[in-house]
Structure 1
Amino acid sequence: MRILAITLTTGLLLTACATHLPQPVTGYTCCNLHPDAGWISSANMLGGAIIPAGQPVMVDTMKRDRYLYGTMGSDYITLRDDTARSKDDVLRWTRQIVVPTDPRVALARWSPEVQKAVYSGKVLVGMTRAQVLMSLSYPSPNDTKDLGASTWRYWTIQEDEPVDVRFGADGLVSGFAGKPSAVRAVEFRG
């Protein structure tokens, strides 16, 4: 009985702090996202579960101008932009990972090998930036400030180590740098 009372009280407090967005953010997951205990974070630690690209999304609630709540596929999820300084920053980042059109349409046009890499949440040498984004999602804005840069840095949960995905002058993945176990967490080996 006491647990029920605490749960109800906590639920009421959360409801009192949260507000519904005037316009819900709806669409599809842009890419494979990496939840950690029900959270999707802009820090984007790789490893563990994947919410695949193309899952339907509806985000309708905000708390403290920093956290958004809604559903991805059939899961209830919380979104957090770790670098946000305002409500607008959080919404901008959310609209980056929740896109209006299903990315699986583009995925279906890619080679079977690239499709396998994306489905597994990994990267092949020769992939484009768009393909890396769909497979790994966006790198943390703290480590990769410019998506036009020749290196994107990702972090892995298994090793808490960085992996650099390197792009050549042609804009295609040219290789990886990092601790071998961390690179294995990112590199697709068909």
Structure 2
Amino acid sequence: MKLSHPFPQAAAVLAVIASVFLSGCATKLAQPITGYTCCNLRPDYGWVSSANMLGGPIVPVGEPVVLDTVKRDRYAYGTIGGDYVSLRDDTARSREDMLRWTRQIVVPTDPKLTLATWSPEVQKAVYAAKVVVGMTRPQVLMSLSYPSRNDTKDLNASTWRYWTTQEDEPVDILFGADGTVTGFSGKPSAVRTVEFRR
């Protein structure tokens, strides 16, 4: 599936700029990182960032990925679903940090196989990149991807914080003792970004 980009010319310009940018100190990986998108990702003008701002276009879960180039300690480049893409780990302190995050985003087995085993309601929520009360942590991860490590340092925490493009507002996903979503916290416009309406 091709990435849907709201500004096709901007995407083309980004590809040209990226090729010039890569001509510097970029390194080709001896073994490309291949697999599938772990979850729904949110590109911003061709960048998928670990900051993971919710809103805008979606790269769906289960898209084929080939990453063959890295630069500095934060960037990986390649294709997702056949389209050129750049990944940026905003919190990486080393290349190992960036590669660890990249391998969370790019998984070896198509997650849609797992998605197909979940209830119809959860499947609809994931395909819409939304969350419904009762979802588990793995289901939220597949739907929204990983929250920024700056705000959610422990994935076992009872609250995961995501930022939205709606007025740059946060929304918190609240988990109960059983590890399932119990509700949301944030401004109504931010909550609407993530809450699946039955």
User: 1:117–1:89: structure 2 CA closer, same or farther, 3 Å change rule?
Assistant: same
Higher mean alpha-carbon deviation, 94-103 vs 57-66, is at 57-66
Q: In structure 1, list runs of 5 or more residues that go unmatched.
A: 1-6
Larger Rg: 1
1:188 aligned residue = 196
Q: How does 1:43-82 map to 2 (within 5 A)?
A: 43-82=51-90
1:145 aligned residue = 153
Matched, 1:171 2:179: yes
The one of 85, 88, 94 aligned to 2:102: 94
Which stretches of structure 1, 4 residues or longer, exceed 2 Å deviation after superposition?
A: 7-14
Higher mean alpha-carbon deviation, 65-74 vs 102-111, is at 65-74
Percentage of pairs with the same residue: 74
Q: In structure 2, list runs of 5 or more residues that go unmatched.
A: 1-14
The one of 21, 36, 43 aligned to 1:35: 43
Matched, 1:155 2:126: no
Equivalent position SS for 1:185: helix
User: 1:124–1:95: structure 2 CA closer, same or farther, 3 Å change rule?
Assistant: same
Determine the C-alpha separation between the residues in 1 that align with 2:119 and 2:164.
Answer: 26
Number of matched pairs:
184
User: 1:129–1:61: structure 2 CA closer, same or farther, 3 Å change rule?
Assistant: same
Equivalent position SS for 1:143: coil
Quote how far apart the aligned CAs of 1:10 are: 8.3
Q: Normalized against structure 2, the TM-score is what? A: 0.89
Query: Aligned Cα RMSD in Å?
Result: 1.7
Determine the C-alpha separation between the residues in 2 that align with 1:173 and 1:9.
Answer: 41
Quote how far apart the aligned CAs of 1:14 are: 2.8
Letter in 2 for 1:59: L
Quote how far apart the aligned CAs of 1:159 are: 2.1
Equivalent position SS for 2:101: helix
Q: Normalized against structure 1, the TM-score is what? A: 0.93
User: 1:102–1:8: structure 2 CA closer, same or farther, 3 Å change rule?
Assistant: closer
Quote how far apart the aligned CAs of 1:52 are: 0.5
Determine the C-alpha separation between the residues in 2 that align with 1:131 and 1:9.
Answer: 36
Equivalent position SS for 1:181: helix
Determine the C-alpha separation between the residues in 2 that align with 1:66 and 1:72.
Answer: 18
User: 1:12–1:124: structure 2 CA closer, same or farther, 3 Å change rule?
Assistant: closer
